[in-house]
């Protein structure tokens, strides 16, 4: 089944499964810095549990049982997903892999990952990775990772590399200094805390210029967006997805904001999405006025006179001041219509949404699987690809994700394949992709 062969959204370190972590740490667990990036303190703060990883590994080595390690590391669906809970669990793997990084031997970790993917039958994978440190360290490590993935390729397995971006100029230096990696480094990613698209406008312009001047050396852009958006209104979260596509992101990761029922979205926690900054509200009003006619064709109620009057008031306030706006039935209906508009826009532009079913289920905050945001995305016309995101943390392979969709939503394999097509066609630096947006 082609849907189970191509993986387009997977984070390197979170590819490690519980048994992989055990194998990597069983001989070194007393030497590992278990509070790397404040892991132990943050874990205790979030879960109220004081971990002792050394004792956990001692018991695992003695008994052969990995249940305690799995409990610490894996994140399962329980109807009240929380991004911070998921995120801190992923630090467990970072502590273990950090031991090998400190020893200047990351290849041990990467080989574990690629060999597993080969056994799973994957034939094409785009690995995402972030790295800190000085400029030279950042360049050196990313080049090292990319070269490993280049050398891991075989006649039946292709690995590509996506860099979590810090400084675009440094990435261009990596490619310039390592011409052999031009075909391996295929993209840049923005993950972690979501970034307002307008804050990346100059970056997108620079990428566009580079693509026109030297397309072979220019990477594509993917971005995490509409995944963790409690700090803004639902309208703004939807707008961020649209603007990211308009600026030129080839693929958008997650886009829960485009698929979740608005009533469910505001019910996920107290005061969900009722507050946002003055700056964000101003951006939303300008967007609504700019796309007013298009939005009206989707039955979104827009009153330009009222919006302009609100703008005048907002301009007198501090940009970071929080403003409150409650939801009523008409506003919720408008938000559904906004979702429909943006999904159609993404189809028109040619943008692809990376759906990560288990990840989206576990951290979207929906109470029931039937409320999964996938259904609305699937029933739209937008380009979709099924991915895993963090297969180790969620204990779910790409094959598991495809089966999850088939079983939970009662979609036949034939129907699913017909709707999605071969995901390989959505790979980065594929010349067939053209952003058809012509609006300025």
Q: How many CB atoms lie within 10 A of CB 309?
A: 11
Question: What's the CATH superfamily of 2-271+351-426?
Answer: Metal-dependent hydrolases (3.20.20.140)
pLDDT of residue 438: 41
User: Is 262's pLDDT higher than 50?
Assistant: yes
Strand partners, 318: none
Residue with tokens 């090292």: 144
For residue 432, how far is the Cα from the chain centroid? 23
The average pLDDT across 249-256 equals 98
pTM for the full model? 0.95
The average pLDDT across 196-220 equals 96
HEC sequence for 214-283: CHHHCCEEEEEECCCCCCCCHHHHHHHHHHHHHHCCCEEEECHHHHCCHHHHHCCCCCCCCEEEHHHHHH
Residue with tokens 């995305």: 377
User: Is 440's pLDDT higher than 60?
Assistant: no
User: Is 13's pLDDT higher than 90?
Assistant: yes
pLDDT of residue 133: 87
Query: CA 10 to CA 125: how far, in whole Å?
Result: 8
The average pLDDT across 15-43 equals 97
Query: CA 226 to CA 15: how far, in whole Å?
Result: 23
Strand partners, 323: 276
Q: Minimal CA–CA distance to 378: which of 332, 349, 347, 350? A: 347
pLDDT digits (tens, 9 = 90+) for 121-174: 999 999 999 988 899 999 999 999 999 999 999 999 999 999 998 899 999 999
Q: Does residue 80 contact residue 367 with C-beta atoms inside 8 Å?
A: yes
pLDDT band of 198, cuts 50, 70, 90: very high
User: Is 366's pLDDT higher than 90?
Assistant: no
Average pLDDT of the residues of the chain: 95
pLDDT digits (tens, 9 = 90+) for 302-327: 999 999 999 999 999 999 999 999 99
The average pLDDT across 211-219 equals 95
User: Is 261's pLDDT higher than 70?
Assistant: yes
pLDDT band of 431, cuts 50, 70, 90: low
Q: Minimal CA–CA distance to 150: which of 130, 126, 132? A: 126
pLDDT band of 79, cuts 50, 70, 90: confident
pLDDT above 70: percentage of residues in the chain: 98
Query: CA 301 to CA 230: how far, in whole Å?
Result: 23
Comparing 77 with 432, the larger pLDDT belongs to 77
pLDDT band of 82, cuts 50, 70, 90: confident
Q: DSSP characters for 331-400?
A: HHHHHHHHHHHHHHHHHHHT-EEEE-HHHHHHHS--SSGGG-THHHHHHSSSEEEE--BSHHHHT--HHH
Query: CA 248 to CA 114: how far, in whole Å?
Result: 30
pLDDT of residue 324: 97
pLDDT band of 260, cuts 50, 70, 90: very high
Residue with tokens 């956990």: 56
């Amino acid at each position: 089944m082609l849907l189970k062969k191509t993986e387009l959204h997977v984070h390197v370190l979170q590819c490690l499964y519980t048994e992989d972590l055990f194998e990597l740490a069983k001989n070194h667990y007393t030497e590992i810095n278990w509070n790397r990036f404040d892991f132990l303190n943050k874990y205790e703060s979030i879960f109220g549990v004081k971990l002792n990883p050394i004792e956990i590994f001692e018991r695992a080595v003695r008994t052969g049982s990995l249940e305690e390690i799995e409990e610490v590391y894996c994140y399962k669906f329980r109807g009240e997903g929380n991004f911070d809970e998921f995120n801190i669990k992923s630090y467990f793997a970072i502590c273990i892999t950090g031991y090998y990084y400190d020893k200047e031997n990351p290849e041990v970790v990467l080989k574990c990952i690629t060999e597993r993917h080969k056994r799973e039958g994957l034939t094409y994978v785009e690995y995402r990775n972030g790295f800190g440190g000085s400029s030279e360290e950042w360049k050196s490590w990313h080049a090292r990772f990319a070269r490993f993935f280049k050398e891991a390729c075989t006649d039946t397995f292709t690995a590509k590399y996506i860099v979590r971006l810090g400084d675009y100029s440094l990435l261009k230096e990596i490619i310039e200094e390592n011409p052999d990696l031009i075909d391996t480094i295929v993209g840049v990613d923005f993950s972690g805390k979501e970034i307002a698209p307008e804050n990346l406008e100059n970056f997108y312009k620079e990428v566009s210029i580079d693509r026109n001047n030297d397309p072979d050396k220019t990477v594509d852009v993917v971005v995490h967006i509409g995944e963790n958006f409690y700090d803004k209104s639902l309208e703004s979260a939807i707008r961020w997805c649209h603007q990211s596509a308009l600026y030129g992101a080839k693929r958008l990761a997650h886009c829960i904001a485009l698929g979740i029922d608005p009533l469910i979205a505001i019910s996920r926690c107290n005061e969900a999405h009722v507050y946002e900054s003055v700056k964000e509200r101003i951006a939303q009003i300008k967007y609504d006025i700019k796309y007013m006619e298009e939005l009206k064709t989707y039955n979104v109620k827009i009153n330009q006179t009222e919006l302009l009057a609100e703008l005048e008031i907002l301009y007198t306030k501090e940009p970071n001041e929080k403003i409150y706006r409650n939801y009523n039935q008409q506003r919720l209906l408008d938000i559904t219509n906004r979702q429909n508009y943006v999904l159609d826009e993404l189809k028109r532009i040619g943008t692809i949404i990376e759906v990560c079913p288990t990840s989206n289920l576990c951290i979207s905050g929906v109470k029931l699987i039937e409320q999964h945001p996938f259904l609305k995305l699937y029933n739209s016309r937008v380009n979709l690809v099924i991915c895993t995101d963090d297969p180790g943390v969620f204990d779910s392979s790409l094959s598991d994700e495809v089966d999850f969709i088939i079983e939970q939503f009662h979609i036949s394999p034939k129907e699913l394949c017909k709707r999605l097509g071969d995901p390989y066609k959505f790979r980065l630096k594929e010349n067939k992709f053209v952003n058809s947006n012509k609006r300025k």
